[in-house]
A = this chain, B = another copy of it.
Amino acid sequence: MSEKRKPTAKEQSAAGENLSGKSVAPDLQRFKRVQISPEKLAEKIISGDVVALSQAITLVESTNPAHAENAQSVIEKCLPHANRSVRIGITGVPGAGKSTFIETFGKHLTSVGKKVAVLVVDPSSTISRGSILGDKTRMEELVKDKNAFIRPSPSGNSPGGVARKTRETILLCEACGFDTIIVETVGVGQGETAVHSMVDFFLLLKLAGAGDELQGIKRGIMEMADAIVINKADGDNKKAADKARGEFARALHLYPPKENGWTPKVLTASALENRGITEIWELVESYISETRESGYFRHKRMEQNKYWLVQTIEDRLKMRFYQDENIKRQLDKELLALEKNETTPFAAARKLLELWDR
């Protein structure tokens, strides 16, 4: 396996996304540091070694095709030990207090004997080393907890790539013995749909006072939530939080029930004063035991697997089509004709597909 040669298109494809010429030099340096066999690495992870876990995640995140291959071997070996956790997605606009909440929530979880991994996903930004430090500083208590593992979002060129890396990181964390996975995302971008499709329970964090502050949340997120937590329900906010709770409960009542019959709950909490946290975990636990019993828990995970399989295939099929030079040229022409109402979307599509067939 040569490390220096340029990756072929096939290898890029194998890595699941386009490299778009990004330099692989930093990854190569990291690769040299983690130069141990995938078998050995997997063994260490399964034995609970978080240093090995970190190294494997670095491989997963790498855009180097050789790393991607090694990462796949590690994951394959970890798979029989994965899939045995509770996965919780947490979203909310910036300022909703996600970090403080996760810190308090995570501390509660480790205090009741859980091993907690926190992954922070933000597909819209390319995370630098600086923000890793940032995340760790934001959760300074949790980061010192030996039963907690905090890892920032993998950076990536495509939302699909970030989602794949996050999913694979979840599997590695599970194989390493983490039984509670928290995936944090900012509820303003594309990330929450992806995160919703990789967790068992989806929690929306909101601020006290309903109405205006909701503006930042993307349409559709409320419908994904299994629970809404009105955060910062402390001090002068307490009354507003209770009011907001009632309003959200009424609003959720207007929605049809979810596929599994679960009605989303609304709770208030103060991460700062550590109030309401126990209740939230009890709610998650009752949800999990209810859905485990009904078979929905397993059913949903299988559906998520299929979703990601289909998603990955279709992303790739589309990418190839739209990146073709002939298609690009013709597409521009057809879009112009559409703009002038000289063609219909269907006639334009037919032309492009005929071109693709040739």
Contacts and interface: CB of A to CB of B under 8 A. Distances in A.
Q: How many copies does the complex hold?
A: 2
Contacts of A350: 13-14, 16, 312
A339 B223 contact: no
A283 interface: no
Given A219-B255, A335-B306, A79 B316 contact: no
A349 B312 contact: yes
B215 A257 contact: yes
Interface in A328-358: 334-335, 338-339, 341-350, 352-354, 357
A121 B156 CA distance: 41
Given A321-B317, A353-B313, A305 B345 contact: yes
A312 B250 contact: no
A143 interface: no
B321 A309 contact: no
Contact of A253 (B211, B218, B257, B347): B211
Interface stretch (A51-59, A164-172, A232-240): A164-172
A256 B123 CA distance: 22
A189 interface: no
A339 to B, nearest CB: 6
B345 A308 contact: yes
Contact of A254 (B79, B247, B341): B247
Interface of A: 10, 13-14, 16, 72, 75-76, 79-80, 82-83, 164, 167-168, 171, 210-211, 214-220, 222-223, 247-248, 250-251, 253-258, 302, 305-309, 311-314, 316-318, 321, 334-335, 338-339, 341-350, 352-354, 357
The 3 closest A-B pairs by CB, nearest first: A308-B345, A312-B349, A309-B345
16 contacts: A79-B344, A164-B346, A216-B256, A217-B256, A219-B223, A223-B223, A248-B254, A251-B254, A305-B338, A305-B344, A305-B345, A308-B346, A313-B352, A316-B349, A317-B317, A317-B318
